[in-house]
Structure 1
Amino acid sequence: MTETLGSLHYAFVHGVLGASRLEVLTRLSWPSSYNFLVSQGVREGMSCLEAGCGAGSITRHLKDFLGSDGGVTGFDMDEETIELARKKFSDTSGVSFQVLDLEEDGVSFDQQFDVVYCRHLLEHLADPETSIRKLSRYLKPGGLFIAQTIDCEGQYCWPDNDAYQKSAELLARIIDVRGGHSDCGQWLPSMLRKQKFLHINIEVENLVYLEGEGKQFVPLTMETLRKGLLEEGLLEKDEFRQLLSDLRQFCNQPDSVVSLPRFVHCAGRKPC
């Protein structure tokens, strides 16, 4: 059965494997995410709506940042993933989770928040601008909308390697084939401007690795794409096995250098 995001298809697997990948991604990118949040005025005591929270890999950091007087409400469309999050935070006050599909009409909250945070969600949506508009309803006047998304055109490696280049192309391809936008980061500021956000800021980073789990994140990402790639006919099983083997071999070379896609951080304030 294909995993859906509303009427769309999510590129990555959900469940334990998908959550494990997001935990690694959080360890790699939270320092820069934290710095961006601080630079935009997020502070202790604020309330945050976390859209597309997954199993809560970033939620813990957000709650620690916002402190005992702050709170995080997370939602995701996958019930299994939300159950993982609820178990993880069963003893934590000030954190709650809901199963909601942003692309359906049933999204509703009984409060407005100081911050709406979307991390690696918008690139998977057919109409991210409409989703931003929906989410902005739950921002307080003067509240912050902050998003982190990707630009798949920003990947590179050294030396040139066919398996790496193929994996980068497939990442972009599966996101696009399944209704998303692998270049979403390029036009995120424009979307915020169209929604009348003020004081729009953007930062772009390219994480590059010579060793460690950052380097191994590249084959891990391919593992979580396996199901979707096979379902969409972008690879056959034997082709996938060979690609993953070649990719691991390249990433295990001590002198090889790999990057992740560009990460685009963008923020704007809702008019008062």
Structure 2
Amino acid sequence: MIALQLLQMDILKEKMKQDDRYTLATGELGAHRLSILNKVHKPYTEFLLQRVGLEAGMVVADIGCGTGNVSNWLAQQVGDNGSVFGVDISAEQLEQARKNAKVEGLSNVTFSLGSAYATGLPLESFDLVYCRFLLMHLTQPTDALNQMQSLLKPGGILVCEEADFSCTFCDPPSRAYERCFELFMTISDIRGQHFRLGATLYRFFMDVGLANSEVCLFQPVVLHQDNKRLIDLSLFEAVDALIEAGITTPQEIDQTITQIRALAADEKTVFGIPRVTQVWARK
């Protein structure tokens, strides 16, 4: 039985090799989850970008910009004399990003369709290039890092934030919470993606020639129900991918989501969400 299961896993891995599909929902369907994610991570991201030297007048690229939460904040920081270019492979994400920029009255941010491997942006044109939770979804993260590095002007700064899904906790401990992240790491392994990438992000920078990199770690801890919903919403959006891969069942997913929602509603329960590695380097 074990040999058969291993064979089936090998077949799945071969079938889904080089699979850069985004596991979660995009566009309007994923906007609420992304707004919670941004609320949780916003303080750490903003501190990082200010720490590395973000200032008015800069030309900035946000790769894998999603619904534009960070892009629009960057546009506010660089001001009228600066500009921000957000790139994403999803037209649905970009539609939301443009709507959000319009609501905020921003005229110095532009969103365009492109991949992390071929952004469509002009080379050596940016003072700062940024991505958050992008490389972990890719099968060739170093290729994307090389592409982002090529966008920088000499002396420009590359800044990346990536998560490690193997570093989470729930207190009191919960098997449902553990199972959620087991499922995410399994689908990542099957697809050849990197949901543990935070632990190796510094090494990836070194591999592409950014030897003067700096690194920092942090792990958000969420207490209140509105933020803790990030976990069950993420699992709910991944249902189709997880079931397609054959690593869970609708019954297990329903049970796991129900249990995590109950934990989220319990103010005595603490969620330690995936640890994040921040790495930055000057070209």
TM-score normalised by structure 1 residue count: 0.91
Summarize deviations over 1:147-188 as a string: whole Å, max 9, x none.
011011110111111111111211222223232111111111
- Indicate yes or no: 2:278 matched with 1:265: yes
One-letter amino acid of the structure 2 residue matched with residue 127 of structure 1: Q
| Match in the other structure for 2:185 | 172
- Indicate yes or no: 2:97 matched with 1:59: no
Counterpart secondary structure, 2:271 = strand
Structure 1 residues 175-184 or 239-248, which shifts more? 175-184
One-letter amino acid of the structure 1 residue matched with residue 129 of structure 2: V
Paired residues of 1:9 and 1:179 also in contact (CA < 8 A) = no
- Indicate yes or no: 2:101 matched with 1:83: no
Aligned pairs for 1:116-155 (under 5 A) are 116-155=129-168
Q: Does the C-alpha gap of structure 1 residues 107 and 39 become closer, same or farther in structure 2, counting only changes over 3 Å? A: closer
1:228 is matched with which residue: 209, 217, 241?
Answer: 241
Structure 1 residues 120-129 or 252-261, which shifts more? 252-261
Counterpart secondary structure, 1:137 = helix
Aligned partners of 1:11 and 1:113: how far apart in 2? 29
What displacement does 1:7 show?
A: 4.7
| Match in the other structure for 2:8 | none
- Indicate yes or no: 2:7 matched with 1:9: no
What displacement does 1:134 show?
A: 1.2
2:176 is matched with which residue: 163, 168, 176?
Answer: 163
Aligned pairs for 1:93-112 (under 5 A) are 93-103=107-117, 106-110=118-122, 112=125
One-letter amino acid of the structure 2 residue matched with residue 113 of structure 1: F
User: Where does the alignment leave 5 or more consecutive residues of structure 1 unmatched?
Assistant: none
What displacement does 1:198 show?
A: 4.7
Q: Does the C-alpha gap of structure 1 residues 176 and 19 become closer, same or farther in structure 2, counting only changes over 3 Å? A: farther
Aligned pairs for 1:206-225 (under 5 A) are 206-225=219-238
Paired residues of 2:59 and 2:128 also in contact (CA < 8 A) = yes
User: Where does the alignment leave 5 or more consecutive residues of structure 2 unmatched?
Assistant: 1-15
Paired residues of 2:225 and 2:267 also in contact (CA < 8 A) = no
Paired residues of 2:19 and 2:139 also in contact (CA < 8 A) = no
Return the structure number with greater helix share.
2
Aligned residues: 264
Aligned partners of 1:116 and 1:49: how far apart in 2? 5
Structure 1 residues 168-177 or 54-63, which shifts more? 168-177
One-letter amino acid of the structure 2 residue matched with residue 149 of structure 1: E
The ranges of structure 1 where at least 4 consecutive aligned residues each deviate by more than 4 angstroms after the TM superposition are none
Aligned partners of 2:93 and 2:200: how far apart in 1? 29
Amino-acid identity (%): 29
Paired residues of 1:13 and 1:227 also in contact (CA < 8 A) = no
Paired residues of 1:19 and 1:57 also in contact (CA < 8 A) = no
What displacement does 1:99 show?
A: 0.8
